[in-house]
Structure 1
Amino acid sequence: MENISTTTLTMVREFNVAPEKVFDAWINPNMMKKWFFTLEGTNKVCKNNPEVGGTWEIVDHRGGKDYRAIGEYLEIDPPKKLVFTFKMPELSGNDLADTITVELKEQEQGCEMTFTQEITVIHEENWTDADIVKAHDDWRSGTEQGWYYMFLGLKELVETGKISYTGQ
Structure 2
Amino acid sequence: MTAPSTEQTLRLVRWLPATPEAVFAAWTNADSLQTWMCPDPVHKTTAELDVRVGGCFRIVMCHGEHETVHTGVYREIQPPERLVFTWVSTTIRHHTTLVTVELRPLDEGTELILTHEGFPDVDAATQHDNGWQSIAAKLETYLYQGA
> TM-score band, normalised by the shorter chain?
0.7 to 0.9
CA distance in 2, matches of 1:112, 1:148: 14
Q: Partner of 2:24 in structure 1?
A: 23
Match of 1:42 among 41, 44, 54: 44
Paired AA for residue 42 in structure 1: K
Please tell me the root mean square deviation across aligned C-alpha atoms, in Å. Answer: 2.2
Query: Shift in Å at residue 82 of structure 1?
Result: 0.3
* Identity of matched residues, %: 29
Q: Quick check: 2:50–2:57 contact (8 Å CA) kept in 1? A: yes
- SS at 1:21 equivalent: helix
Q: Partner of 1:142 in structure 2?
A: 127
For residues 74-125 of structure 1, the C-alpha deviation after alignment (integer angstroms, 9 at most, x for no partner) is 000000000000011x34444x21100000011122110111000321xxxx
Paired AA for residue 160 in structure 1: Q
CA distance in 2, matches of 1:49, 1:141: 28
Q: Which of structures 1 and 2 has the bigger CA Rg?
A: 1
Query: Shift in Å at residue 139 of structure 1?
Result: 3.3
Structure 1 gaps of 5+ residues are 122-134, 163-168
Query: Shift in Å at residue 6 of structure 1?
Result: 4.9
Q: Partner of 2:62 in structure 1?
A: 61
Query: Shift in Å at residue 38 of structure 1?
Result: 6.2
Q: Quick check: 2:39–2:131 contact (8 Å CA) kept in 1? A: no
Q: Quick check: 1:11–1:115 contact (8 Å CA) kept in 2? A: yes
Q: Partner of 1:156 in structure 2?
A: 141
The total of aligned residue pairs comes to: 141
Poorly superposed stretches of 4+, deviation over 3 Å: 37-41, 90-94
Structure 1 pair 140–93 and aligned structure 2 pair: CA distance change class (3 A): closer
Q: How does 1:1-168 map to 2 (within 5 A)?
A: 6-37=7-38, 42-43=44-45, 45-88=46-89, 90-94=90-94, 96-121=95-120, 135-136=121-122, 138-161=123-146
TM-score by length of 2: 0.85
Query: Shift in Å at residue 73 of structure 1?
Result: 0.1
TM-score by length of 1: 0.75
